[in-house]
Amino acid sequence: KNLVIAIDGYSSCGKSTLAKALAKKLGFIYIDSGAMYRAVTLYFIRNKVDVKNPEAVTDALQHIELNFHSRDYQSHITLNGEEVSEEIRQMPVSEYVSEVSANKQVRKEMVRQQQRMGKSKNIVMDGRDIGTTVFEDAQVKFFMTADPKIRAERRYKELQSKGDTLTTLEEVFENLAHRDYADTTREESPLTRAEDAIVLDNTELTETEQLDFALNMVHQ
Ligand code: C5P
């Protein structure tokens, strides 16, 4: 049977960094489930899809095709054939993604596609509901946390390195707090720790220390 490693946790607490490192080390496929919700959100923004209108959402979902391409273990996502990996990280998408991802129709379709991707391959998938909903029987589950201030600083630096000189640290902090609140309080599969998930607080851990810790757990 193929292996699934699920990594859940709050926004910007290092899930994707650890997930990529694990995938590279183990030769697994890395899937960023957040990128899928972000790409759907980008489509909704561009096409002015009203997330509160069920018919509009059904129609939009039928016109969205998402695909992952990996290059050097960096995951790239395409939306209807267009590379959108950079655009989906920018603030307009970050500000709207929690509302779009709280939509039941959107979640149902994303979960279906995610389950299909993990059906026969060894994967590491990160997100909010991977260990609780998408792969309840994943062999290894992690739940990551980190100090909110440190998380905001990391995300702020990442945005700056991508050329975003307008967004302030304060705005990043607010956005993370808003998404954490929305993600943990939504009706449909809210973010919670799966009972069998291993908690990993990386506030004071280097990337190497996190990888070593996670590999140890995987090999147990
Ligand atoms: O992981 P990332 O921060 O890129 O995810 C963006 C947003 O997508 C989250 O704030 C959350 O609202 C949503 N998401 C989700 N379920 C997942 C992954 C992401 O609802 N499995």
User: Considering the entire predicted model, what is its pTM?
Assistant: 0.96
Contact 101 CB / ligand 1 (< 6 Å): yes
Q: What does the DSSP assignment read for 1-65?
A: ---EEEEEESTTSSHHHHHHHHHHHHTPEEEEHHHHHHHHHHHHHHTT--TT-HHHHHHHHHT--
pLDDT tens profile 163-219: 999 999 999 999 999 999 999 999 999 999 999 999 999 999 999 999 999 999 999
Ligand 1 atom showing the smallest separation from residue 41 Cα: 8
- Measured in Å, residue 19 CA sits from the centre of ligand 1 at 15
What value of ipTM does the predicted structure carry? Answer: 0.99
Contact 37 CB / ligand 1 (< 6 Å): yes
Task: Determine which residue's CA is closest to atom 20 belonging to ligand 1.
Answer: 101
Domains of the chain: 4-219 (3.40.50.300)
